[in-house]
Amino acid sequence: MSMLSDFLSQYGEYHNDLYFKDLTTIRMGGHIAHFIYPNTIDDVQHIVRYLRSEHIDFKVIGNGSNLVCGESEYEGVVICLKKIDGYEINGEQVYAEAGVKAPLLANVLAKNGLSGFEFAGSIPGDVGGLLYMNAGAYKSDMSAVVDEVLVLKKDELVWMKKDELEYAYRSSIFQRHPHWVVLACRMSLVKKDSDEIFDLMNDRLERRKASQPLDKASCGSCFRNPEADFAWKYIDEMGYRGYKLNGIEVSEKHSNFIVNNGGGTAADFLKVVYEIQEKAKEKYGIKLIMEVEKFNC
């Protein structure tokens, strides 16, 4: 083992044989030279401090549900926060770490009669990813419930208040500071009958199953909705529903989902994305902005 792998192995579960295609929901991407599941927030701090001091590139990921990665090897270190998954409930106040799965937390909160996080019940991501992009659904998002976020800035752990986070539609300050590491949050929810919360979450899940290709490899919605409208309408009007390029397809079921039917690459995916963006600008004068993050492409 190398000096780097020896160091990383002290702070979690180390791998050198993983691929982005096995770690992302769209199932694409190349080999990762160094991969680590840290065990604790302190471990993350130790790892990041060392990597920065040695000028070693790194990427922090969670569930990989909003990430498209290129086929070439990534020679840096991927830090996956899935094991940083603690949570605590104290009355209507909730502490949740970045690796907690959003649907799991939504169900736990529903059982405790806490409302406000229902929108995340069928989002296939981790809390860290939701905080990073201000994820949301059904006219709500993380900004509606978050009080503060624990962030590793340089070598320092800092609690940032909500008014510092620059939250907007699918946007946050974290997207403009990619080397900050989002580690946990505190949220405020409200008391409500558990059965009512579960009924709402189950109804929304059934609606998603009926209208979205949840059985296909994808990143979820590809484009942000333009103001006061829906991205899928423009995609449909331009004739892209069902469009295919190699293994990539604009879903027949929901045209704002671009799915990987097998063998699709990031280059294929982005070619389809850029073509749709170009046509939308040319035909309607609108800019369709990707929700999906691209990496090592």
Give the per-residue pLDDT at 138: 86
Give the per-residue pLDDT at 45: 97
Which candidate in 221, 249, 251, 255 is catalytic?
A: 221
Residues 6+ apart with CB under 8 A from 273: 222, 258, 290, 292
Q: Which CATH class is domain 87-210?
A: alpha beta
- Domain 3-80 sits in CATH at 3.30.43.10
Domain ranges in the chain? Answer: 3-80, 87-210, 213-295
How does 207-223 read in b/e, with b if 16+ C-beta sit within 10 Å? ebeeebbbebbbbbbbb
pTM for the whole structure: 0.94
50-59 contacts at long range (C-beta below 8 A, 24 or more positions apart): 50/7, 51/77, 52/154, 52/155, 54/4, 56/4, 59/295, 59/296
Please state, in angstroms and rounded to a whole number, the distance separating the CA atoms of residues 51 and 179: 11
Q: Are strands 93-97 and 67-69 parallel, antiparallel or unpaired?
A: unpaired
* pLDDT greater at residue 274 or residue 123: 274
57-89 pLDDT, tens per residue? 999 999 999 999 999 999 999 999 999 999 999
Active site annotation includes 291: yes
- The rounded percent of the chain whose pLDDT value lies above 70 is 100
106-146 pLDDT, tens per residue? 999 999 999 999 999 989 899 999 999 999 988 899 999 99
* pLDDT greater at residue 279 or residue 122: 279
To the nearest whole number, what is the mean pLDDT of the chain?
96
What's the length of the chain? Answer: 297
206-241 pLDDT, tens per residue? 999 999 999 999 999 999 999 889 999 999 999 999
Q: Is the pLDDT of residue 180 over 90?
A: yes
Give the per-residue pLDDT at 278: 98
- The rounded percent of the chain whose pLDDT value lies above 90 is 95
Residue 155 confidence class, pLDDT cut points 50, 70, 90? confident
What does the pLDDT average to over 161-177?
A: 95
Give the per-residue pLDDT at 142: 97
Candidate from 26-35, 132-141, 247-256, 273-282 with smallest mean pLDDT: 132-141
Angle at alpha carbon of residue 80, lines to 144 and 168, rounded to 5°: 25
Give the per-residue pLDDT at 178: 87
Active site annotation includes 221: yes
Residues 6+ apart with CB under 8 A from 10: none
HSE-up of residue 264 (Cα within 13 Å, Cβ side): 27
Give the per-residue pLDDT at 139: 84
What does the pLDDT average to over 273-279?
A: 98
224-228 contacts at long range (C-beta below 8 A, 24 or more positions apart): 224/169, 224/170, 224/288, 224/289, 224/290, 224/291, 226/286, 226/287, 226/288
Q: Of 272, 227, 224, which is closest to residue 245 (Cα–Cα)?
A: 272
Give the per-residue pLDDT at 1: 56
Please state, in angstroms and rounded to a whole number, the distance separating the CA atoms of residues 96 and 128: 9
239 CB neighbour count, 10 Å cutoff:
11
Tell me if domain 3-80 and domain 213-295 are identical in fold.
Answer: no
HSE-up of residue 1 (Cα within 13 Å, Cβ side): 13
Q: Find residue 42's DSSP bridge partners.
A: none
- Domain 213-295 sits in CATH at 3.90.78.10
What does the pLDDT average to over 144-166?
A: 96
Give the per-residue pLDDT at 56: 96
SS3 (DSSP) at 287: coil
Which candidate in 27, 115, 170, 251 is catalytic?
A: 170
